[in-house]
Amino acid sequence: MQLAAAAIEALPQLDPLEVSAGMVFGPRRQPDPDVDRLWPIAGPRATLEEILLGALAKPPCVVAFSGGRDSSAILAEATRIARANGLEDPIPHTLRFGGAPRTDEVEWQEAVVGHLGLASWSRRDVGEELDSLGPLAQGVLLRHGVHWPPNVHTLQLMLEPAIGGSLVTGNGGDELFTPWVGHRMSLLRRGRARPRRYELRPLLRALLPRRLLAELWFRRDRYRLPWLVPDAARRIVRNVADELMGFDDSWPEALERYLGSRYLEVSQGLIAALGRDAGVEVVEPFFDPRYVRAVYSEAPAQGYASRSIVMERNFGDLLPEKVTRRSTKAVFTEVFTGPEVRRFAREWDGSGVDTSLIEPEKLRDMWLSPVPDLRSLVPLQAAWLASR
């Protein structure tokens, strides 16, 4: 237990509102000088090569491969770099969920692996292993305490074939490559563009005081979490307003704010810890400040107009066009609420959560709903851990 306590102490800890809402907001709470010193020495491709060479030099180099655009891009780039440098090919590792049709990406997976000509492909059929109170999740909770995101135990299944080596993921692609929505609003706010008719309402909303905007959203049930007491729900909606209305003047400025976010502070600290637990170096290039800065240094100030454009620019020579232009995306929400979650919810006595922030019966109703809100799984895990 002393080791577990030490590990918990070393990681960024969630405050009571973050635990109750299953959300994190705002900037980092502890400074990270490493983020400020990590700048690219070249463009995006050379920077990505530098990052991936380190992982490929620690075999087995496993790539978490779902078949989506981001993991496909990482797999393709890692394969190119390995072959150019006489290293072993990376090994794609894929989880398949036969009981969850919305997760099916077999067609896309086979298209990419076939295109790259990879001889080795690790695949694992998954049933109820990712239940948010199953053995994998319980192990993470007992070692590292209540954490965010609540589905991080998925990483355990990706780490297994990489023990003694490295695991590379495509996490962070959504955050990095999704078109920057603040560009047009930035121009309007500074009077550098004339608003179109359909932009008048969003512009007026953006000019409202944040607290007033949050109150309007709250009264209209926007961004409200139904298991929170009204005061806590209001605080969360205000945080959402601050996050969504925190306009930046350029895409690089928006990405720099993201690199210094609480979101990365909490999630990256935990993922690195899970890697150390397993004896695996976890490499996530799309979260790496060097690569993020390399991408925006060669992009228009307002960012790219679409995911397809940025994927084709950076990875179009490595992947089939239908992959870079793909618009669909798998959904994995249901795989995290299995029989252990339902059993605990039915037997729960309402203890282990902060009742000044949470209405226990409404929280239980959420856990027992057909597809619970993923955010409600953080207080679920907190309640389970307290019961231990």
Residue reference for tokens 């909606």: 237
Q: How many residues does the chain have?
A: 388
pLDDT of residue 192: 64
In the structure, what pLDDT confidence band is assigned to residue 191 with cuts at 50, 70 and 90?
low
Residue 346 has pLDDT above 80, yes or no: yes
Predicted pLDDT of residue 2:
42
Q: Residue 282 belongs to what H/E stretch? A: strand 281-283
**Average pLDDT estimate for 170-188:** 80
**What angle do the packed helices 230-244 and 210-219 form, to 10 degrees?**
130
pTM: 0.89
Please, are residues 225 and 375 in contact by the beta-carbon 8 Å criterion? yes
Mean pLDDT of 353-360: 98
Mean predicted confidence (pLDDT) in 257-283? 96
Question: For residue 199, what pLDDT band results from cuts at 50, 70 and 90?
Answer: low
Report the pLDDT value the prediction gives residue 8, as an integer from 0 to 100.
Answer: 57
One-character DSSP codes across 61-114? EEEE--SSHHHHHHHHHHHHHHHHTTPPPPEEEEEE-TT-GGG--HHHHHHHHH
pLDDT at 116: 97
Query: According to the model, what pLDDT value does residue 83 have?
Result: 98
Per-residue pLDDT reduced to its tens digit, 294-303: 999 999 878 8
Compute the mean pLDDT over every residue in the chain, rounded to the nearest whole number.
90
- The pLDDT value recorded for residue 41 is 84
pLDDT of residue 59: 97
Instruction: Please give the pLDDT value at position 150.
Output: 97
What strands, in cross-sheet order, belong to the sheet with 281-283?
122-125, 91-96, 61-64, 166-168, 281-283
Tell me what percent of the residues of the chain surpass a pLDDT of 70: 89
Three-state secondary-structure class, residue 122 = strand
Res 1 pLDDT > 60: no
Which among 310, 187, 302 has a CA at the least distance from the CA of 250? 302
- Domains in the chain, CATH or no CATH each: 2-14+26-179+251-334 (3.40.50.620)
Q: Give the lowest-confidence range in 208-222, 246-260, 312-326.
A: 208-222
Helix 251-259 and helix 289-297: axis angle, to 10°?
A: 180
At residue 73 the predicted structure's pLDDT band, cuts being 50, 70 and 90, is very high
Whole-number pLDDT of residue 72: 97
**Residue 286's pLDDT band (cuts 50, 70, 90):** very high
The pLDDT value recorded for residue 215 is 85
Asked if pLDDT for residue 326 goes beyond 50, the answer is yes
In the three-class reduction of DSSP (H, G, I as helix; E, B as strand; rest coil), residue 223 is classed as coil
Place 291 in a pLDDT band, splitting at 50, 70 and 90: very high
- Which pLDDT band holds residue 33 (cuts at 50, 70, 90)? confident
pLDDT for the residue 35: 87
Are residues 184 and 199 in contact, defined by beta-carbon separation less than 8 angstroms? yes
The set of residues, in sequence order, having a beta carbon less than 8 Å from that of 313 and lying 6+ positions away, is: 304
How far is 378 from 382, CA to CA, in rounded Å?
A: 6
